[in-house]
Amino acid sequence: MELLRNFRSDALRTFLSLSGVSIGIFVVTVSFALVDAFSRSVVAGFDHFGSDMIMVERFPVVSEEIPGQAGNDGETHGGKGAGNDTGNDWSRYASRPQPSREDYMAVAGASVTPGSTGTVTPGSTGGPGGWTAFAGASEADIVCGGRSLRGCKLVGVAGDWQHLVYSSVAYGRDFSLAELAGNDAKVIIGSKVARDLFGEKAEVCGRTVRIDGRNMMVIGVLSYEGKNIINLYATDYALIVPFGTAERIAGVDNLETMIAIGPGAAGREAAMQDARRALRASRRLKATQEDNFALNTMEDLCRETVALTRKITAAGLVIALFSLLIGGFGIVNIMLVSVKERTSAIGLKKALGAKRRHILMEFMAEALLLSVFGAVFGLLLAAGVLALVPAGVIDARLSAPQIALAFALSIVLGLVSGLAPASQASRLNPVDALRG
């Protein structure tokens, strides 16, 4: 085709035209690939944790209700509401007390029916629903022999802590109830901690390690987890210990704590009401005082995360739109130049009997080819970038619908961009065109 010779004769202009289309297609495909990967991760989080899981924390995932309005549990509470003053909200939430062991015991004991003889200890599994767990996280260093790992996730746990992680105990054993209730020097380590300290196939259970200067016995190793967006604790590099042990190692003021509740058959709304009443009683809050804790659900977390992703995707699509627009102008420009340079050839073709539609289709096809070339380069660039994402961070990959969308956009862009130059070429008068 004559256009290919024009590509080579003005390589810079051709490169700039292709770049606009390529960048636009690249941004579109990468955005959709990341959104799809994120959606799969959210679904995996739902499958594991369940959308009904309740988390007692300092900060709410969504803005709290204005005073006098019903909360998620259907009850109203006094005090100053969150309103729209987000700057003051943050400082107010940050000043709230961390969920404490006493709060956990109050929530766990809320399901013990009147007249029963059951008692609640920090290692028990009672609660206003199916299960209750308590965890506090900090950072710690672990040393064994001549090897050490810095900045591991130290997680002190009580209750049904297994619900808080994707992993399960792959080797060794879990904590006993007595160990969870006390401050035993026992630890369950993440899979990558075990691999980096002891090697791939070494016998780990029963070994002694030092965590922030304290001797601890390894009693179990967690299964490999990998990275996941909807994740509470990255357990591959975690050090799981009884909560009392974590208090001794990190100090109670250095633990970011959380109470988690699985509603079970009781239902989320009933579980939230029971938990709220138990927490307000534990913290001795008056009827006129607002809650100084937040009851978040996994559904809230996923909803807010998806909303944030949509905003990021929208911003990416705006950038892609401008890139495609620039690429379209580039195609129009190079095609108009091509029409001008080939005026005599167009006149000769018409003089020899070429119909207007033949000239129109020739230039439309050339514009389409230029746009498709840009899409191919954009897809190759997107595939290369996604291939650089480390395995296990996020499972982002190009899919057939995304590739089809890229080519569809490029075809539409090529047809729209080539229409005006092709129409101009097809309307040329043969006599005037032959005169140049």
Q: Would you tell me how many other CB atoms lie within 10 Å of the CB of residue 67?
A: 15
- Helix (H) / strand (E) element for 416: namely helix 400-426
Torsion of CA 66, 72, 78, 84, to 10 degrees: -20
Find where tokens 């990468």 sit.
30
Contacts of residue 164, Cβ cutoff 8 Å, sequence gap at least 6:
133, 135, 157, 232, 233, 260
pTM for this predicted structure: 0.69
* Cα separation, 241 vs 251, whole angstroms: 14
Rg (CA), the chain: 32
Q: Measured on CA atoms in the order 134, 137, 143, 149, is the torsion positive or negative? A: positive
Q: Would you tell me how many other CB atoms lie within 10 Å of the CB of residue 304?
A: 14
Find where tokens 């938990």 sit.
275
DSSP 37-72: HHHHHHHHHHHHH-TT-EEEESS-SSPPPPTTS--T
Q: What are phi and psi of 7, to 5 degrees?
A: -55, -45
CA distances in angstroms from 100 to 20, 97, 173, 194, 265, listed in the order given: 56, 8, 27, 30, 26
DSSP 104-137: HHHHHGGGSPTT------TT----SSSEEEEEEE
Q: What is the pLDDT along the chain (436 residues), one digit of tens a residue?
A: 555 565 565 666 677 777 878 888 998 888 888 888 877 777 776 667 777 889 999 988 876 554 444 444 444 444 444 444 455 677 888 889 999 999 999 998 875 433 333 344 444 445 444 788 999 999 999 999 889 999 999 999 999 998 888 788 999 999 999 999 888 999 999 999 999 999 887 789 999 999 999 999 999 999 987 766 666 787 889 999 999 999 999 988 899 999 999 887 778 888 899 999 999 999 999 999 999 999 998 888 777 777 877 887 788 788 878 878 888 888 888 888 878 877 888 888 888 888 888 888 888 888 888 899 889 999 999 999 988 877 666 778 888 988 998 999 899 999 998 899 888 888 887 777 777 6
Q: Do 359 and 422 meet the contact criterion of CB atoms below 8 Å apart?
A: yes
* Cα separation, 239 vs 146, whole angstroms: 19
Q: Would you tell me how many other CB atoms lie within 10 Å of the CB of residue 126?
A: 21
